[in-house]
A and B are shown apart, each in its own frame.
Chain A
Amino acid sequence: MAVKDDAAEEKALGKIIAGKLREQLQSEPSGCPDVEILSAYFERTLSSSERMVCESHLMTCPRCQLFVAELARLSEADERPVIVAEPEIAVEEETGWRFRLAWVAPVLVILIVGGVWYAEKIRNYIRPPEETTMEEPTPPAREAAKSKDHPLAATPPLTPAEEGTPKAREEQKKQVATAAPPVTAAGPAEGQQPAGSGITIKGAVPEMAPGAAVGGIAAPSERDRLAASAAETRVLQIPAGPRPAEAANRAIAAAPPSATPETARKSGRETQALAKQAVGAKPSALTDYTIQGYTPAYHAKWRVGRGGLIQKYETDRGWIDVPSGVQVDLFDVTFSNASIGWIVGHEGTVLRTTDGGTNWSKVSSPTSEDLVRVSAIGDQKAQVMSRSGRAFVTTDAGRSWKPVNEQ
């Protein structure tokens, strides 16, 4: 007993169906719609009533069915070939991706930890004046406070872990109330003009913590906060003459050392104001941040045509001829960047340019069939498609070609 073959059964049944359908089509079709209506039917631009009439005719007319079928077959030429990645390149990209991931993870951890730590510092630094009782000393001030000669040397300097804590703030309040400590200015910030030149500093925002930035540019989570504070433009006038720190110190020293708590608090606020003026802040990395972009120059207009015609569009001159060196019909042109371009045409013609289209040279061809489409990526890689739908790819600027695998 024969084994049942579903595929053969399906195929044979299909033949019967085809035969019977042909039988049922009109032997003498009539009333065929015109070419434009059939074209519009294929493109689905007919009105609903037109479509209904056309379809009822198509159901019985073999000629019109064949007509529409041919339009469907020809419309496949409208699809552009897609560059297929070579297996070697795909593997390379995969390992490169994994490699990048391997070192990104630890950097991310550092950024997150640094960002959290610095966020706390920023919050303390950008506190509003009326609420702030004591400014956190800037790093140089802290360093100065650690020296023996510094009035604050009597008190043990704060450890980094203690800085910014409530205990530290209390400690500093006491110190201001009892002996107005001089605040050592940071001095002219990097890139600024030296003191005495009467410069204006905008946006006194502290410098970035190393952990929170890469390459001097604020991490995304920090940028918004910094941008907001940078918007509070505080114009500080550093007077010409002695160093700002000295002026501040003189102002601070003018306060009586044994003032009452009330006057001490008042003078403390004044001191803070002077201290702020004295502190030379560096401009934020955010204000120096630039965004770079480019416009691809190769998006110029090109066209190709009969008899080896190549033309380029220039704004002031219009379409100008470019010598191709061939006489055959050319069908498609593309550029992968400003310099590298490809043209394909009749009987397997492939042209390539490396100087933006000024000169074109013939390269080897994968076939003697007409080539009707070309796509390119990078300097060396291109894919072409023949009229029959066969696709070929080169990865060595056209020196050799191989067929793209059938899908």
Chain B
Amino acid sequence: MTDEVFATVLDRVSRVPGVRGVLVVDAQAGVPVVAEVEDGVADSAVAALATALFRRAARAAEGSEFGHLDALQLEAEGGHVVVAGAGELLLVAVAAGDAQLGLLRLEVQRAVEDLW
């Protein structure tokens, strides 16, 4: 994976209005490979928590015969976390509560295609 691909992915997703941070994360280790986050967003914590959530949900979905987990979207009072799988990598986006979610999902989907 080239730096250029990572840069394109980060740029594409972070342009969506309301996005506060974008990370490409090692899905096994749960650590950021590259990240572009606003001040106040702890990229290591986001990477670890998002990875744990994704892996747990993926195991649960497979265990309950719903198949492979492609993506998840956590909605909380203060914002959203979108996590999408791309093989050994995860793409994580943290967004404010008023972010354009439809556009964010679309850009995450496109970015994941670049990461595969």
Q: Do A and B bind each other?
A: no
